[in-house]
Amino acid sequence: MKVLLINAEAFHVKHKAAIPLGLLSIATYLTNNGHEVKIFDRTVESGSIKKHLISFLPDIVGIAAPSFKCFPDAIKISKIVKDDNIPVVWGGPITTLLPDIVLKSGFVDYVVMGEGEITFLDLINSIIYKTPLHSVDGLAYIENGEIIINRDRDFADLSQLPVIDFSFVDPKKYFVSNVGCEKMLHIYSSKGCFCQCTYCYNPYFSKCVWRPRPSEYYLSEIKYLVETCGMDGVCFADDLLSPNEKYLIEFCNNIIKSGIKFVWGCEFRADMCTKEDLQLMFDSGCRWIYFGIESGSEERQKLIKKRLNLIKAKETICFCKEIGIVTSTSFIISYPDETEEELMESVRYLKGLQSDIILPSFYGPIPKSEIYNSLIDGKRLTEPKSYKEWEKIKMMDLFGKNYSKVPDKELKVVSAHFYLANFLKKYPDNENQSRVYVKKAFKQIFDILRRGTLSSLHLIILSAKEFSEVVFYATMFPKIRKKYGLK
């Protein structure tokens, strides 16, 4: 079968698109099983969908819609594909959480839930050999006007999934500069997370299960990208780099033994490593770590079931500073029923950290998360019934409905303060000090404009508008800044 895989474009972005690891893995897996596959990534490529349909003549089209921001473009693509009577398949984390909503759109034939490699292959085989769809685990579809959602597919042993073939795309189009590198790409070494955070979809999506890939898989991918594309940095796209100290030590030693020269960064819990562990990470090339703090309140840590040891987290970040690892720490504001006093406590804690970057985000309801379910049960949120209703819900990086007890303006001022500080601050970069965020912003603007499309211009205008709002709220309300101890 000829399979066209399309990465839908988000109508709004703050960061350059990451290399589409999910689509690349599916493409590799299907190709290894005898199918012809092409990837069209609308986040970095121009050109019409129709052109690809005419030139490639696919038998089936798979569309990655990893977030609600991708839904408008994914629907647009689906309409065009359906006009040619080609079956349409959707996949991605949010799509997995809401297969019924996606199918109700009327433009999607199948939804692949969870990991797509094996399910997509089983779907193709079912179509070719005309076997019953109900036997395909991890698939949702419409039959006789009724939405059918099959049983979840058991998690694959990641050694069963392929070493990714990056030749389906041009990796150089995804290069991003970061601390200590100019040509960073994303690679994954594991999947899942064992945490039970109530604001997150992962307890539903990954069932709190963490799974590693064989080290030879991701190291061979890194070696290929370093030697053929000049990649000099890796952002490990894992939800959680390591579940324990033993694995972390093994992970770092494997990188050192490989002899491959690159720097790297990851996401990690801030209460799971010693100073010696962090030194080993640095020695193996680690130059930045993203820590999800999410709240500086002990009580809120219990409520969201993250249960982070805040004292240990502060020590970890101090150790990173001593060693030379740049740290980013995220926190969520406007949790349901969060008070001004609690937000002040959180801000005080974050100001006391020695973190290089502090990233605020607004709480937004994520489907299938525990807090989302409680908002529905408490009738504080009406469950969206269509993809258009979901598009209206803002979360994390955009200010939406405020479920907290903190006034909207105060939330916006606190968020804007940290964002502007991040943008203007200088960070270690190749043994010098530079404004890494400013460099990233200008490179991203150049990359977007280079595509020369109307949507590119729209993204630039949106970004300029958002930055203006950040400057406005960060500078124009001195009384609120003083209230929260923000200079």
Predicted local confidence at residue 67, as pLDDT: 82
pLDDT tens, position by position, 180-201: 999 999 999 999 999 999 999 9
Token pair of 446 as six digits: 């150049």
Predicted local confidence at residue 444, as pLDDT: 64
Predicted local confidence at residue 455, as pLDDT: 65
pLDDT tens, position by position, 295-304: 999 999 999 9
Find where tokens 């009384």 sit: 479
Is 434 a residue whose pLDDT tops 60?
no
Token pair of 424 as six digits: 């203007």
What is the length of the chain? 487
Give me the DSSP letters along 79-113: HHHHHTT--EEEESHHHHH-HHHHHHTSS-SEEE-
CB 261 within 8 A of CB 223: no
Closest by CA position to 422, among listed 356, 470, 486, 467: 356
- The pLDDT confidence band at residue 343, using thresholds 50, 70 and 90, is very high
pLDDT tens, position by position, 130-172: 999 999 999 999 999 899 999 999 999 999 999 999 999 999 9
Predicted local confidence at residue 47, as pLDDT: 84
Amino acid occupying residue 424? L
Give me the DSSP letters along 295-337: -S-HHHHHHTT----HHHHHHHHHHHHHHT-EEEEEEEE--TT
Q: Which residues contact 301 (CB under 8 A, 6 or more apart)?
A: 294, 295, 307, 308, 310
Based on its alpha-carbon atoms, the radius of gyration of the chain, rounded to whole angstroms, reads 22
How confident is the model over 58-86, as a mean pLDDT? Answer: 93
Amino acid occupying residue 289? I
CB 392 within 8 A of CB 364: no
Let me know how many helices (H) and strands (E) the chain has, helices first. Answer: 19, 18
How confident is the model over 114-119, as a mean pLDDT? Answer: 96
Angle (CA) 386-387-390 rounded to 5° is 95
- The pLDDT confidence band at residue 68, using thresholds 50, 70 and 90, is confident
Distances (CA, A) of 205 to 62, 139, 140, 195: 20, 14, 15, 12
DSSP helix/strand/coil, 201: coil
CB 387 within 8 A of CB 398: no
Quick one: CA dihedral 444, 450, 456, 457, positive or negative? positive
Burial grade of 106 (CB within 10 A; 0-12, 13-18, 19 or more):
exposed
DSSP secondary structure letter of residue 396: B
CB 254 within 8 A of CB 212: no
Amino acid occupying residue 480? I
Calpha distance 242→188 (Å, rounded) = 12
C-alpha dihedral over 348, 352, 353, 354, to 10 degrees?
140
**Ordered structural domains, the chain, with CATH:** 2-149 (3.40.50.280), 175-383 (3.20.20.70), 407-487 (no CATH)
Q: Which residues contact 173 (CB under 8 A, 6 or more apart)?
A: 44, 45
CB 336 within 8 A of CB 198: no
Predicted local confidence at residue 487, as pLDDT: 79
Calpha distance 145→116 (Å, rounded) = 24
Amino acid occupying residue 25? S
Q: Could you give the percent of the chain with pLDDT greater than 90?
A: 80
